[in-house]
Structure 1
Amino acid sequence: MNNSYWDYPEPAYLKDTENFLNKFIGTWKYQNGNEQFKIVLKKKLKYDYDGRYSDILYGEYQYINVSGQILVNTLDKIDIPMDESYHNITGATFIPNNLRVKCNDCSPGEFRVESFFDDPDRKGLIGTGVIFRYVNPTTIKVLIIGSKGKVLESETDNLPDQLRVPSAEYTMVKQ
Protein backbone atom coordinates (compact mmCIF):
# COMPACT_ATOMS: atom_id res chain seq x y z
CA MET A 1 0.00 0.00 0.00
CA ASN A 2 2.91 2.33 0.65
CA ASN A 3 4.78 1.86 -2.63
CA SER A 4 4.17 3.22 -6.10
CA TYR A 5 2.84 0.74 -8.64
CA TRP A 6 5.78 1.48 -10.93
CA ASP A 7 8.36 0.74 -8.18
CA TYR A 8 7.89 -2.98 -8.79
CA PRO A 9 9.75 -4.95 -11.49
CA GLU A 10 8.00 -6.85 -14.25
CA PRO A 11 6.36 -9.28 -13.72
CA ALA A 12 5.12 -8.12 -10.33
CA TYR A 13 1.69 -8.88 -8.88
CA LEU A 14 0.29 -6.39 -6.36
CA LYS A 15 -2.18 -8.73 -4.70
CA ASP A 16 -4.83 -7.49 -2.32
CA THR A 17 -3.71 -10.01 0.33
CA GLU A 18 -5.78 -8.40 3.10
CA ASN A 19 -8.91 -8.15 0.91
CA PHE A 20 -9.12 -4.39 1.48
CA LEU A 21 -10.82 -3.90 -1.90
CA ASN A 22 -13.57 -6.35 -0.94
CA LYS A 23 -14.98 -3.68 1.40
CA PHE A 24 -16.04 -1.68 -1.67
CA ILE A 25 -17.64 -4.48 -3.71
CA GLY A 26 -21.38 -4.16 -4.14
CA THR A 27 -24.10 -1.66 -4.96
CA TRP A 28 -23.90 1.73 -3.22
CA LYS A 29 -26.44 4.56 -3.25
CA TYR A 30 -26.54 8.22 -2.29
CA GLN A 31 -29.90 9.99 -2.12
CA ASN A 32 -30.82 13.56 -1.22
CA GLY A 33 -34.41 14.35 -2.25
CA ASN A 34 -34.67 13.63 -5.97
CA GLU A 35 -30.89 13.55 -6.43
CA GLN A 36 -29.54 9.99 -6.61
CA PHE A 37 -26.12 8.56 -7.31
CA LYS A 38 -25.70 4.78 -7.57
CA ILE A 39 -22.46 2.87 -8.08
CA VAL A 40 -21.93 -0.87 -8.65
CA LEU A 41 -18.37 -2.08 -7.97
CA LYS A 42 -16.72 -5.43 -8.63
CA LYS A 43 -13.19 -6.73 -8.13
CA LYS A 44 -10.87 -8.18 -10.75
CA LEU A 45 -7.99 -10.34 -9.56
CA LYS A 46 -4.61 -10.07 -11.28
CA TYR A 47 -5.46 -7.46 -13.90
CA ASP A 48 -2.63 -7.24 -16.45
CA TYR A 49 -1.08 -3.77 -16.85
CA ASP A 50 1.43 -4.69 -19.56
CA GLY A 51 3.34 -7.25 -17.52
CA ARG A 52 2.60 -5.82 -14.09
CA TYR A 53 -0.41 -7.26 -12.33
CA SER A 54 -2.74 -5.81 -9.74
CA ASP A 55 -6.09 -6.50 -8.15
CA ILE A 56 -8.46 -3.69 -9.15
CA LEU A 57 -11.97 -2.39 -8.75
CA TYR A 58 -14.20 -1.79 -11.76
CA GLY A 59 -17.75 -0.57 -12.04
CA GLU A 60 -20.53 1.48 -13.50
CA TYR A 61 -22.88 4.19 -12.22
CA GLN A 62 -26.10 6.17 -12.55
CA TYR A 63 -26.64 9.82 -11.65
CA ILE A 64 -30.07 11.50 -11.33
CA ASN A 65 -30.01 15.26 -10.72
CA VAL A 66 -32.08 17.29 -8.23
CA SER A 67 -34.82 17.70 -10.87
CA GLY A 68 -35.18 13.91 -11.13
CA GLN A 69 -33.61 13.76 -14.61
CA ILE A 70 -31.30 10.83 -15.39
CA LEU A 71 -28.12 12.51 -16.62
CA VAL A 72 -26.00 9.37 -17.02
CA ASN A 73 -26.69 5.67 -16.60
CA THR A 74 -24.09 3.03 -17.42
CA LEU A 75 -25.31 0.35 -14.97
CA ASP A 76 -26.34 -1.95 -17.83
CA LYS A 77 -22.66 -2.33 -18.81
CA ILE A 78 -21.52 -3.90 -15.52
CA ASP A 79 -22.01 -7.51 -16.65
CA ILE A 80 -21.00 -7.12 -20.30
CA PRO A 81 -17.91 -9.27 -20.96
CA MET A 82 -15.10 -6.81 -21.72
CA ASP A 83 -11.68 -5.78 -20.54
CA GLU A 84 -12.18 -4.24 -17.09
CA SER A 85 -10.31 -1.07 -18.13
CA TYR A 86 -13.21 -0.25 -20.49
CA HIS A 87 -15.62 0.21 -17.60
CA ASN A 88 -16.38 3.77 -16.50
CA ILE A 89 -14.84 3.16 -13.08
CA THR A 90 -11.59 1.21 -13.09
CA GLY A 91 -8.36 0.81 -11.15
CA ALA A 92 -7.24 0.73 -7.54
CA THR A 93 -4.42 2.93 -6.31
CA PHE A 94 -4.03 2.95 -2.55
CA ILE A 95 -3.53 6.49 -1.27
CA PRO A 96 -2.75 7.57 2.30
CA ASN A 97 -4.85 10.21 4.03
CA ASN A 98 -2.37 13.04 3.34
CA LEU A 99 -1.98 12.60 -0.44
CA ARG A 100 -3.93 13.52 -3.58
CA VAL A 101 -6.92 15.12 -1.87
CA LYS A 102 -6.03 15.37 1.80
CA CYS A 103 -8.50 13.66 4.12
CA ASN A 104 -8.95 15.66 7.31
CA ASP A 105 -11.42 13.11 8.76
CA CYS A 106 -9.19 10.09 8.14
CA SER A 107 -7.39 8.40 11.00
CA PRO A 108 -3.57 8.24 10.95
CA GLY A 109 -2.42 5.55 8.55
CA GLU A 110 -5.85 5.18 6.94
CA PHE A 111 -5.81 4.34 3.23
CA ARG A 112 -8.34 5.16 0.55
CA VAL A 113 -8.64 3.81 -2.99
CA GLU A 114 -8.44 5.96 -6.12
CA SER A 115 -9.83 4.86 -9.48
CA PHE A 116 -10.40 6.37 -12.89
CA PHE A 117 -13.90 7.82 -13.36
CA ASP A 118 -15.13 8.36 -16.92
CA ASP A 119 -18.22 9.97 -18.35
CA PRO A 120 -19.03 7.96 -21.51
CA ASP A 121 -20.39 11.01 -23.35
CA ARG A 122 -17.54 13.28 -22.27
CA LYS A 123 -14.46 11.49 -23.50
CA GLY A 124 -11.22 13.44 -23.37
CA LEU A 125 -11.69 15.05 -19.96
CA ILE A 126 -8.38 15.36 -18.12
CA GLY A 127 -7.91 14.70 -14.41
CA THR A 128 -11.20 13.05 -13.54
CA GLY A 129 -11.21 10.42 -10.85
CA VAL A 130 -12.93 8.97 -7.83
CA ILE A 131 -11.64 8.30 -4.33
CA PHE A 132 -13.35 5.64 -2.23
CA ARG A 133 -13.14 5.76 1.55
CA TYR A 134 -14.41 2.89 3.68
CA VAL A 135 -16.40 4.07 6.71
CA ASN A 136 -18.08 0.88 7.94
CA PRO A 137 -19.71 -2.24 6.41
CA THR A 138 -22.77 -0.28 5.26
CA THR A 139 -21.21 3.11 4.38
CA ILE A 140 -18.51 4.47 2.09
CA LYS A 141 -17.60 8.02 1.11
CA VAL A 142 -17.11 8.68 -2.59
CA LEU A 143 -15.24 11.79 -3.72
CA ILE A 144 -15.74 12.68 -7.39
CA ILE A 145 -12.85 14.67 -8.83
CA GLY A 146 -13.87 16.77 -11.83
CA SER A 147 -11.79 17.80 -14.82
CA LYS A 148 -11.23 21.46 -13.92
CA GLY A 149 -12.46 22.30 -17.42
CA LYS A 150 -9.65 20.57 -19.30
CA VAL A 151 -10.19 18.50 -22.44
CA LEU A 152 -7.52 16.68 -24.47
CA GLU A 153 -6.45 18.84 -27.42
CA SER A 154 -6.84 15.90 -29.79
CA GLU A 155 -10.56 15.70 -29.00
CA THR A 156 -13.23 17.50 -31.00
CA ASP A 157 -13.69 21.24 -30.32
CA ASN A 158 -16.66 22.43 -28.29
CA LEU A 159 -16.95 19.29 -26.15
CA PRO A 160 -18.38 19.72 -22.65
CA ASP A 161 -15.56 20.20 -20.16
CA GLN A 162 -17.22 18.87 -16.99
CA LEU A 163 -18.53 15.52 -15.78
CA ARG A 164 -22.29 15.17 -15.52
CA VAL A 165 -21.84 13.94 -11.93
CA PRO A 166 -20.99 17.02 -9.84
CA SER A 167 -17.58 17.08 -8.15
CA ALA A 168 -18.44 16.47 -4.51
CA GLU A 169 -18.18 13.96 -1.70
CA TYR A 170 -21.12 11.57 -1.48
CA THR A 171 -21.90 9.40 1.55
CA MET A 172 -23.23 6.16 0.09
CA VAL A 173 -25.13 3.32 1.72
CA LYS A 174 -24.79 -0.32 0.70
CA GLN A 175 -27.91 -1.68 -1.00
Structure 2
Amino acid sequence: MRILILIAITILTFLLCKAQQPVIALFNGSDYLETENAYYKDTDGDLAKLIGTWQYTNGNESLKIILKMKSQNLTEFTIPNFSCYEDILYGEFKYINQNGLQIINSTNQIDLNQDPYEHSIYGGYLIDNNDLPTCNDCGDNERRVKVVVKDPLRPYFDYDMIIRHFPGEALFDIPEQIIIKIKRSATAIVPEGQPDNDRITFDEITLNKQ
Protein backbone atom coordinates (compact mmCIF):
# COMPACT_ATOMS: atom_id res chain seq x y z
CA MET A 1 0.00 0.00 0.00
CA ARG A 2 2.85 2.35 0.90
CA ILE A 3 4.43 1.77 -2.52
CA LEU A 4 1.16 2.60 -4.29
CA ILE A 5 0.86 5.86 -2.35
CA LEU A 6 4.43 6.85 -3.25
CA ILE A 7 3.78 6.10 -6.93
CA ALA A 8 0.59 8.16 -6.85
CA ILE A 9 2.41 11.10 -5.22
CA THR A 10 5.20 10.92 -7.81
CA ILE A 11 2.74 10.92 -10.72
CA LEU A 12 0.74 13.79 -9.21
CA THR A 13 3.91 15.84 -8.65
CA PHE A 14 4.99 15.26 -12.25
CA LEU A 15 1.60 16.30 -13.61
CA LEU A 16 1.53 19.42 -11.45
CA CYS A 17 5.01 20.44 -12.61
CA LYS A 18 4.02 19.96 -16.25
CA ALA A 19 0.84 21.95 -15.73
CA GLN A 20 2.78 24.83 -14.20
CA GLN A 21 5.29 24.99 -17.04
CA PRO A 22 4.40 28.08 -19.09
CA VAL A 23 4.15 27.55 -22.86
CA ILE A 24 5.28 30.63 -24.81
CA ALA A 25 5.15 31.11 -28.55
CA LEU A 26 8.64 31.00 -30.03
CA PHE A 27 8.05 34.31 -31.78
CA ASN A 28 7.83 36.53 -28.73
CA GLY A 29 10.73 38.97 -28.79
CA SER A 30 9.82 40.46 -25.42
CA ASP A 31 10.23 37.14 -23.63
CA TYR A 32 12.52 34.89 -25.65
CA LEU A 33 14.68 32.89 -23.23
CA GLU A 34 13.60 35.05 -20.30
CA THR A 35 11.24 32.80 -18.34
CA GLU A 36 12.77 30.01 -16.26
CA ASN A 37 11.49 26.53 -17.12
CA ALA A 38 9.23 27.85 -19.90
CA TYR A 39 8.60 25.89 -23.08
CA TYR A 40 9.23 28.10 -26.12
CA LYS A 41 7.09 26.33 -28.70
CA ASP A 42 6.98 26.59 -32.49
CA THR A 43 3.25 27.27 -32.30
CA ASP A 44 3.00 28.80 -35.79
CA GLY A 45 5.15 26.21 -37.58
CA ASP A 46 7.93 28.64 -38.53
CA LEU A 47 10.53 25.94 -37.86
CA ALA A 48 8.47 22.90 -38.83
CA LYS A 49 8.06 24.06 -42.42
CA LEU A 50 11.85 24.06 -42.85
CA ILE A 51 12.22 20.38 -42.02
CA GLY A 52 13.51 18.36 -44.95
CA THR A 53 16.29 18.18 -47.54
CA TRP A 54 17.04 21.27 -49.61
CA GLN A 55 19.23 21.43 -52.72
CA TYR A 56 20.99 24.22 -54.65
CA THR A 57 22.78 23.48 -57.94
CA ASN A 58 24.52 25.89 -60.31
CA GLY A 59 26.80 24.15 -62.79
CA ASN A 60 29.36 22.18 -60.79
CA GLU A 61 28.55 24.04 -57.58
CA SER A 62 25.98 22.57 -55.20
CA LEU A 63 24.79 22.89 -51.62
CA LYS A 64 22.66 20.28 -49.88
CA ILE A 65 21.14 21.07 -46.48
CA ILE A 66 19.28 18.59 -44.26
CA LEU A 67 17.18 20.12 -41.48
CA LYS A 68 15.34 18.41 -38.64
CA MET A 69 13.62 19.72 -35.52
CA LYS A 70 13.80 18.59 -31.93
CA SER A 71 10.71 19.48 -29.92
CA GLN A 72 10.91 20.64 -26.30
CA ASN A 73 14.69 20.42 -26.14
CA LEU A 74 16.13 21.20 -22.71
CA THR A 75 18.44 24.21 -23.01
CA GLU A 76 20.70 25.03 -20.07
CA PHE A 77 22.96 28.06 -19.63
CA THR A 78 25.80 28.32 -17.14
CA ILE A 79 26.04 32.12 -17.33
CA PRO A 80 23.47 33.11 -16.31
CA ASN A 81 22.22 30.04 -14.47
CA PHE A 82 19.08 29.48 -16.50
CA SER A 83 17.21 26.63 -18.16
CA CYS A 84 14.17 26.29 -20.38
CA TYR A 85 12.73 24.13 -23.12
CA GLU A 86 12.51 25.08 -26.77
CA ASP A 87 11.76 23.74 -30.22
CA ILE A 88 14.99 23.92 -32.17
CA LEU A 89 16.23 23.18 -35.68
CA TYR A 90 19.40 21.21 -36.32
CA GLY A 91 21.07 19.91 -39.43
CA GLU A 92 24.07 19.08 -41.57
CA PHE A 93 25.20 20.04 -45.06
CA LYS A 94 27.27 19.14 -48.10
CA TYR A 95 29.02 21.75 -50.23
CA ILE A 96 30.73 21.21 -53.60
CA ASN A 97 32.46 24.26 -55.07
CA GLN A 98 32.46 25.66 -58.60
CA ASN A 99 35.35 23.39 -59.58
CA GLY A 100 33.41 20.30 -58.54
CA LEU A 101 35.53 19.74 -55.43
CA GLN A 102 33.77 18.54 -52.28
CA ILE A 103 34.62 21.10 -49.60
CA ILE A 104 32.41 19.93 -46.72
CA ASN A 105 30.17 16.92 -46.22
CA SER A 106 28.76 16.38 -42.74
CA THR A 107 25.45 14.82 -43.84
CA ASN A 108 26.40 11.43 -42.40
CA GLN A 109 26.28 13.04 -38.94
CA ILE A 110 22.59 13.98 -39.09
CA ASP A 111 21.37 11.06 -36.93
CA LEU A 112 24.44 10.53 -34.75
CA ASN A 113 24.08 13.31 -32.17
CA GLN A 114 21.08 13.72 -29.89
CA ASP A 115 22.09 17.21 -28.76
CA PRO A 116 21.05 19.75 -31.45
CA TYR A 117 23.92 22.03 -30.43
CA GLU A 118 26.45 19.40 -31.51
CA HIS A 119 25.38 19.61 -35.15
CA SER A 120 26.85 21.80 -37.90
CA ILE A 121 23.56 23.74 -38.06
CA TYR A 122 21.44 24.60 -35.04
CA GLY A 123 19.07 27.24 -33.71
CA GLY A 124 15.72 28.77 -34.49
CA TYR A 125 15.59 32.47 -33.67
CA LEU A 126 12.68 34.12 -35.48
CA ILE A 127 13.07 37.57 -37.02
CA ASP A 128 10.66 39.85 -38.87
CA ASN A 129 11.28 42.17 -41.80
CA ASN A 130 12.58 44.96 -39.57
CA ASP A 131 15.32 42.85 -37.98
CA LEU A 132 18.80 42.82 -39.47
CA PRO A 133 19.42 41.95 -42.16
CA THR A 134 16.34 43.86 -43.26
CA CYS A 135 14.02 42.35 -45.86
CA ASN A 136 12.50 44.99 -48.14
CA ASP A 137 10.20 42.63 -50.01
CA CYS A 138 9.02 40.54 -47.04
CA GLY A 139 5.33 40.63 -46.15
CA ASP A 140 4.15 42.54 -43.10
CA ASN A 141 3.71 39.35 -41.06
CA GLU A 142 6.45 37.31 -42.69
CA ARG A 143 9.10 35.81 -40.46
CA ARG A 144 12.54 34.45 -41.24
CA VAL A 145 14.65 32.01 -39.24
CA LYS A 146 18.20 32.61 -38.06
CA VAL A 147 20.44 29.62 -37.25
CA VAL A 148 24.11 29.07 -36.52
CA VAL A 149 26.31 27.31 -39.08
CA LYS A 150 29.69 25.77 -38.30
CA ASP A 151 32.48 24.75 -40.66
CA PRO A 152 33.40 21.34 -39.16
CA LEU A 153 37.08 21.77 -40.06
CA ARG A 154 37.32 25.43 -38.99
CA PRO A 155 35.41 25.63 -35.69
CA TYR A 156 36.95 29.02 -34.89
CA PHE A 157 34.58 30.61 -37.43
CA ASP A 158 30.95 31.36 -36.51
CA TYR A 159 28.34 31.95 -39.22
CA ASP A 160 24.69 33.00 -39.23
CA MET A 161 22.31 31.60 -41.80
CA ILE A 162 19.10 33.51 -42.50
CA ILE A 163 16.36 31.33 -44.00
CA ARG A 164 13.32 32.60 -45.85
CA HIS A 165 10.64 30.07 -46.82
CA PHE A 166 8.43 29.95 -49.92
CA PRO A 167 5.64 27.32 -49.99
CA GLY A 168 5.64 26.79 -53.75
CA GLU A 169 2.71 26.29 -56.11
CA ALA A 170 1.99 22.71 -57.18
CA LEU A 171 -0.55 23.91 -59.75
CA PHE A 172 2.16 25.88 -61.57
CA ASP A 173 4.91 23.31 -60.91
CA ILE A 174 6.78 25.73 -58.62
CA PRO A 175 8.66 23.73 -55.94
CA GLU A 176 8.79 24.57 -52.27
CA GLN A 177 11.91 26.67 -51.72
CA ILE A 178 14.09 28.44 -49.22
CA ILE A 179 16.33 31.43 -49.85
CA ILE A 180 19.37 31.57 -47.58
CA LYS A 181 22.19 33.95 -46.76
CA ILE A 182 25.28 32.81 -44.85
CA LYS A 183 27.64 35.37 -43.34
CA ARG A 184 30.30 35.29 -40.65
CA SER A 185 28.65 36.45 -37.43
CA ALA A 186 31.71 37.57 -35.45
CA THR A 187 35.39 38.36 -35.73
CA ALA A 188 37.35 35.14 -35.41
CA ILE A 189 40.60 34.46 -33.60
CA VAL A 190 42.39 32.21 -36.06
CA PRO A 191 44.90 29.83 -34.48
CA GLU A 192 48.44 30.27 -35.71
CA GLY A 193 49.10 28.35 -38.89
CA GLN A 194 45.39 27.71 -39.60
CA PRO A 195 43.55 28.91 -42.75
CA ASP A 196 41.69 32.20 -42.39
CA ASN A 197 39.43 32.18 -45.46
CA ASP A 198 35.68 31.49 -45.53
CA ARG A 199 34.43 28.40 -47.34
CA ILE A 200 30.66 28.61 -46.81
CA THR A 201 29.56 32.23 -47.26
CA PHE A 202 26.67 32.93 -49.66
CA ASP A 203 25.10 36.29 -50.45
CA GLU A 204 21.77 34.78 -51.47
CA ILE A 205 20.90 31.45 -53.05
CA THR A 206 17.69 29.49 -53.58
CA LEU A 207 17.33 25.83 -52.60
CA ASN A 208 14.53 23.52 -53.73
CA LYS A 209 12.95 20.97 -51.46
CA GLN A 210 13.80 17.41 -52.44
TM-score (norm 1): 0.90
Cα 1:103–1:160 shift into 2, 3 Å: farther
Specify which of 39, 45, 49 is matched with residue 71 of structure 2: 45
* Deviation readout 1:110-143 (Å, 9 max, x if unpaired): 11010110001111124x1111111114111111
* Alpha-carbon contact 1:39-1:60 (below 8 Å) kept: yes
2:160 counterpart of 1:144: no
Partner of 2:125: 93
User: How many pairs does the alignment contain?
Assistant: 170
Partner of 1:57: 89
2:194 counterpart of 1:159: yes
Partner of 1:84: 116
User: Is 158-167 or 138-147 further displaced after alignment?
Assistant: 158-167
Partner secondary structure for residue 192 of structure 2 = coil
- Pairing 1:117-128 to 2, within 5 Å after superposition: 117-126=149-158, 128=159
Q: Which amino acid aligns with 1:151?
A: A
| Stretches (4+) displaced over 3 A | none
Unaligned runs of 5+ in 1: none
2:98 counterpart of 1:66: yes
Larger RCO of the pair (alpha carbons < 8 Å, separation 6+): 1
Partner of 1:32: 58
Partner of 2:24: none
> What is the CA distance between 1:103 and its match in structure 2?
1.1
Partner of 1:14: 40
TM-score (norm 2): 0.76
> How many percent of aligned residue pairs carry the same amino acid?
39
Q: Which amino acid aligns with 1:106?
A: C
- What is the rounded CA distance, in whole Å, between the counterparts of 1:159 and 1:5 in structure 2? 36
* Alpha-carbon contact 1:63-1:71 (below 8 Å) kept: yes
- Report the aligned-residue RMSD: 1.6
Between Structure 1 and Structure 2, whose CA radius of gyration is higher?
Answer: 2
More helix by share: 2
* Alpha-carbon contact 2:46-2:145 (below 8 Å) kept: no
- What is the rounded CA distance, in whole Å, between the counterparts of 1:94 and 1:117 in structure 2? 16
